[in-house]
Amino acid sequence: MALALYRLGEVSHEGDNAATRALWEESLALWREIGNKPGVAAMLNSLGVIADEQGDYIVARALWEEGLALGRELGDKRGIALLLLNLGVMAEEQSNYAAARTLYEESLVFQREMGHKPGIALSLGNLGIVAVEQGDYATAQALYEESLMLHRNMGDKRGIGYITLCQGLLARAEGHLEQAQALFREGLAQVQAIGEQRYMVTALAVLTVAVADRSAGAQAAVFARRAAQLCGATDALLESLKTRLERHFRLPYERALTATRAALGDEAFAVAWEAGKHMTFDEAIAFALAATEDAS
């Protein structure tokens, strides 16, 4: 019964987090009742994910910490590594980079012990993100390169695209705007090839940042209007996908949106934003690519 409830929750998770949470809470109670610790550990992780998606961060953290303690008791290296990653992401979202780094590093140790290449690549990438946030760009580049090599060896276009977008943000942080723009376009091409919409909209957001960067130079007003249209498209697509940008992508995007609004004024920004809001995914991507081509 506990497993059946979990499977039902997986189905409902596609569109109804509240229903999923209720089913999985019932499943957790049953796993606890029969004393099945692996089942309890798995449900604690899954329920933590749901709570996190619902913005219930205190509950998510408590669930993951309980799951981590149980994973350590069971000696479940894969479960431990996963929960350390989840807790690391939560720490990163709260700007607690020291804690995030410690959690990611411990997860990486377990991933390497298991020889789990996807987990190793993910942990390295997350550590690279933290290094960027801490201003350690040389370390970030080395971590990204190792992660990217693993993703390429696995033929993982999603991972290649994601790390390439991260490298674009690193290049931008270092002041290499043209290199950043090229990396954003390359990252988009990778995720677009497999139709990965969540990362496609992430790529659209960072291309928006690249266009907004040009609104302080020649043809400033032109690029500001284009950036505002792309903000409208990005916001609408995020809403339709029921997702949000990860923090290291979200912050530069939000700054670009604020700067663009200031450059255009509220009224002109609203007009351009509304026009972008009605673009399809394909139209928005084509518009972003054209805008960055003009900017090069």
Q: pLDDT value at position 55?
A: 82
Average pLDDT over residues 52-69: 91
Residue-wise pLDDT for 188-241, tens only, equals: 999 999 998 999 999 999 999 999 998 765 578 888 999 999 999 999 999 999
Q: pLDDT value at position 20?
A: 77
Residue 226 · residue 207 · CB < 8 Å: no
Q: How many CB atoms lie within 10 A of CB 276?
A: 24
Rg, C-alpha atoms of the chain: 21
Per the prediction, the chain carries an average pLDDT of 89
Residues 6+ apart with CB under 8 A from 95: 133
Beta strands in 32-109 (DSSP E): none
Residue-wise pLDDT for 81-119, tens only, equals: 999 999 999 999 889 999 999 999 999 999 999 999 999
Look up residue 225 and give its two tokens.
């209007």
Phi, psi of 14, deg, nearest 5: -60, -25
**Cα 161 from Cα 274, distance rounded (Å):** 29
Q: pLDDT value at position 295?
A: 52
Residues 6+ apart with CB under 8 A from 55: none
Q: pLDDT value at position 265?
A: 93
At residue 34 the predicted structure's pLDDT band, cuts being 50, 70 and 90, is confident
Q: pLDDT value at position 1?
A: 41
Its pTM surpasses 0.75 = yes
Q: How many CB atoms lie within 10 A of CB 118?
A: 13
Residue 215 · residue 224 · CB < 8 Å: yes
Residues 6+ apart with CB under 8 A from 190: 157, 158, 160, 161, 164
Pick from 10-14, 143-147, 203-207: least confident: 10-14
Average pLDDT over residues 237-258: 93
User: What is the residue whose two structure tokens read 């998510």?
Assistant: 60
Q: pLDDT value at position 216?
A: 64
Q: How many CB atoms lie within 10 A of CB 152?
A: 14
Q: How many CB atoms lie within 10 A of CB 50?
A: 22
**Cα 288 from Cα 296, distance rounded (Å):** 12
